[in-house]
Structure 1
Amino acid sequence: MEYKTYKPNPQLTKQVKLYWSIEDMEEGFQHERERIFPDGCIELIFNYSDRWRKYDTETEFHIQEPCFIHGQLKTFFELQAMGKIGVFSARMHPAGLQPFIDFDVDTFTGNTLTTAQVWGKDGEALEKRMLACSTNEERVAVLEEFLLGKRKEYKVDNAPVEHCVDAMIKSVGNIAVDELADELKISKRQLERRFTAAVGITPKLFARITRFQNMLQLIENKEFKSFTTIAYEGGFYDQAHFIKDFKDFTGLNPKQYFSENLEMVKHFSFDD
């Protein structure tokens, strides 16, 4: 499977984090389920090959549409490719989608909306153009032309929310909402309302996801030998707090998760 990334146009760097693609055109290959975790970002996904299953329960699934926006995640879900793979996506910054739509982002948190549902006939036209592209360079150009046009239509001042997002990322989720509200000279409730409308989840949940993602990075980089150490260094109250968040976002406790990865499990001790 080939994975590629592309940088956005400088005019879109505040909204678009990056573009990515995965491709595997091998036929007859049985793909395993992939578990997707919350990362605090929203994806604009364009599937130009065979369709995917999204599992609603352990045994029930539905077939995903080819072009859609996936809202913020509060927990994990599972996907399974049904044949050849060809996916292109724009990964938005946490508050990056709002300037391109005329409704609150939390409208579809945990769900998907097709490009047609979000942008009507313009969304249908975008889908046709994206699926007609033959290279990722073409896909980037088509999507950026569309996004730049939509951003002119919907003028939104996201500066306060973007400030909060940046502060939470820099502090790895360890900054109080009250502190941020004081900095911006608005009430905590007002900040929470604006943040949820622009990002799709509450500041508190975004902070939890930021800590969780930082913890995954620490583990992937093999910077710690003990989950207790990771819990404290990652800003969790204690190991129980770390395990709870890990299970909420992955569906597994750390021991279950890393026991499935024999190479990774060698590098860590389990303290429970």
Structure 2
Amino acid sequence: MEYLSRVPEPPLDGFVDDIYCLSGEPRHRRVTVPPMPSAHLFLNLGDPVRLVDSDPSASPALFTDGWFVGVWTRRFVVEYPARVRLVGVHFKPWGISPFAGLPASELRDRWIPVDAVWPRSLDRIRDRIAAEPDRVALRLVEEELRSRMVSPRGLDLVRYAGRRLETTGGTHPVGALTDAAGVGRNHLAAQFKTHVGVTPKRVARIYRFARLILSVDARGPVDWSALAQSSGFFDQAHFSREFKEFTGHTPTGYLSLRRRFPAREGFPPDNGPMPAGDFLQDDRTS
């Protein structure tokens, strides 16, 4: 499976990390996606894709066309078909707010059909991009986003604080964010819930974990204590609990999995997500 990516022109690049296309036969049909600092738009141009929540009370979802996914605070599994063609958008945590037209809290830990957010739009968008080469499809999706972009009230504050968390890998103290912005903690938290879906503390937690997991080099020995401390974890027990919660594995088990199934170098979908194994043994397939 190939990954073709486009970083949009300003001002979209302040809200979108990249617009991309996945196409071809996937190396792994089932992939566990841990919490990452992003929200998503998926436009499926191939066979159905199945999403399975790690919360056993949530039903799996089968998507044939398109859906939005908000910031996710727990892991989930993507089950790909034998062949994939999917165009997606990686929004920054606050990046979905100018395009969704609803509070980001309504998208937290949820996948919602595109037409529920952009009424009567999905068929038009898919028809427009389906027959185009991948590079053209990415440009057309960028044009669609540009045409829908608005400036919601309070978003500048969230962008300012979010960028601090992004550039420090989640280690910037939340209290210092409120001091620098000249607002109260409750006000900042309320704005984050509106535009991100979660609090600044939760965003910091996700950035911190992403920084750690992307620093792991499974090709050699891993000093978990040093890696955890450099990523802002100063309590080893807390680190171990959070690692298991976010990946479904202990650090040792995760390292074993990565060595059995090495990430493809330069292939972003392998950098955070990982092949799904034991997690799906209960495989809610009904």
Instruction: State TM-score, norm by structure 2.
Output: 0.82
User: For 1:62 and 1:151, how far apart are their aligned partners in 2?
Assistant: 28
Residue pairs, 1:63-212, within 5 angstroms: 63-130=62-129, 132-152=130-150, 155-212=152-209
User: For 1:157 and 1:18, how far apart are their aligned partners in 2?
Assistant: 24
User: For 1:264 and 1:220, how far apart are their aligned partners in 2?
Assistant: 13
8 A Cα contact 1:35 1:79, kept in partner: yes
Higher relative contact order (CA 8 A, sep 6+): 2
User: For 1:141 and 1:4, how far apart are their aligned partners in 2?
Assistant: 12
Shift of 1:257: 1.4
Contiguous gaps of at least 5 residues in structure 1: 266-272
Identity %: 24
- 1:8 maps to 8
Letter in 1 for 2:3: Y
Output the aligned Cα RMSD.
2.5
Shift of 1:222: 6.6
Contiguous gaps of at least 5 residues in structure 2: 263-286
8 A Cα contact 1:51 1:64, kept in partner: yes
Letter in 2 for 1:143: V
Residue pairs, 1:200-239, within 5 angstroms: 200-220=197-217, 225-239=222-236
Which of these two proteins has the greater Rg computed from alpha carbons?
1
8 A Cα contact 2:70 2:110, kept in partner: yes
Bigger mean CA deviation after superposition, 49-58 or 116-125: 49-58
Task: Give 3-state SS (helix, strand or coil) of 1:78's partner.
Answer: strand
| Count of paired positions | 260
1:251 aligns with 2:251: no
Letter in 1 for 2:19: Y
8 A Cα contact 2:97 2:152, kept in partner: no
Task: Give 3-state SS (helix, strand or coil) of 2:14's partner.
Answer: coil
User: For 2:254 and 2:168, how far apart are their aligned partners in 1?
Assistant: 26
User: For 2:44 and 2:126, how far apart are their aligned partners in 1?
Assistant: 10
User: For 1:32 and 1:151, how far apart are their aligned partners in 2?
Assistant: 34
Letter in 1 for 2:9: N
Judged with a 3 Å threshold, the aligned counterparts in structure 2 of structure 1 residues 56 and 188 are, in CA distance, closer, same or farther, namely closer
Residue pairs, 1:55-66, within 5 angstroms: 55-56=52-53, 61-66=60-65
Judged with a 3 Å threshold, the aligned counterparts in structure 2 of structure 1 residues 222 and 204 are, in CA distance, closer, same or farther, namely farther
Shift of 1:122: 3.4
Letter in 1 for 2:5: T
Task: Give 3-state SS (helix, strand or coil) of 1:142's partner.
Answer: helix
Instruction: State TM-score, norm by structure 1.
Output: 0.86
8 A Cα contact 1:208 1:245, kept in partner: no
User: Which among 258, 268, 281 is matched to residue 261 of structure 1?
Assistant: 258
